[in-house]
């Protein structure tokens, strides 16, 4: 079954489109976390970023950069987060890879406020574990 984003791409569901290319579409989030909250998605429906072919991922990044610059400029050079929720445990609600361009006005809450240090030697173990999967 097609995701809600595929239905938007196909014109079955309306959206406030920001830009559309051959491979991507960007539109305003219908339930924004901030004014200007924009979604940038590939037209190819894949669930996770790593499922997107490399050429399409590169194209998506170019479009995302273009859109993020425009969102920032539209709100007087506002700062922003680029957010990818990759999988349900990461908060992904629509199983179609998508990035959020989330404007961050002054005084908004900051991400990454809950941090913990690695135990002695743990950082090296984690690094090796990731490198072994490359």
Active site residues: 98
Please check whether residue 29 is in contact with residue 101, taking contact to mean a CB–CB distance below 8 angstroms.
no
- What is the distance of C-alpha 65 from the center of its chain? 11
- Gyration radius of the chain over CA positions: 17
Angle at 32 between CA 16 and CA 2, to 5 degrees: 60
């Amino acid at each position: 079954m097609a995701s809600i984003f595929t239905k938007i791409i196909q014109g079955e569901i309306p959206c406030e489109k920001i830009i559309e290319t051959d491979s991507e579409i960007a539109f305003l989030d219908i339930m924004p976390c901030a004014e200007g909250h924009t979604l940038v998605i590939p037209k190819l429906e894949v669930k996770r970023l790593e499922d997107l072919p490399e050429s399409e991922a590169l194209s998506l990044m170019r479009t995302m950069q273009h859109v993020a610059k425009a969102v920032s400029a539209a709100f007087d050079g506002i700062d922003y987060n680029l957010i990818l929720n990759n999988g349900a445990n990461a908060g992904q609600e629509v199983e179609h890879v998508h990035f959020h361009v989330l404007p961050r006005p002054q005084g908004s809450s900051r991400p990454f406020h809950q941090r913990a240090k690695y135990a002695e030697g743990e950082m090296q173990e984690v690094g090796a574990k990731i490198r072994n999967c490359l």
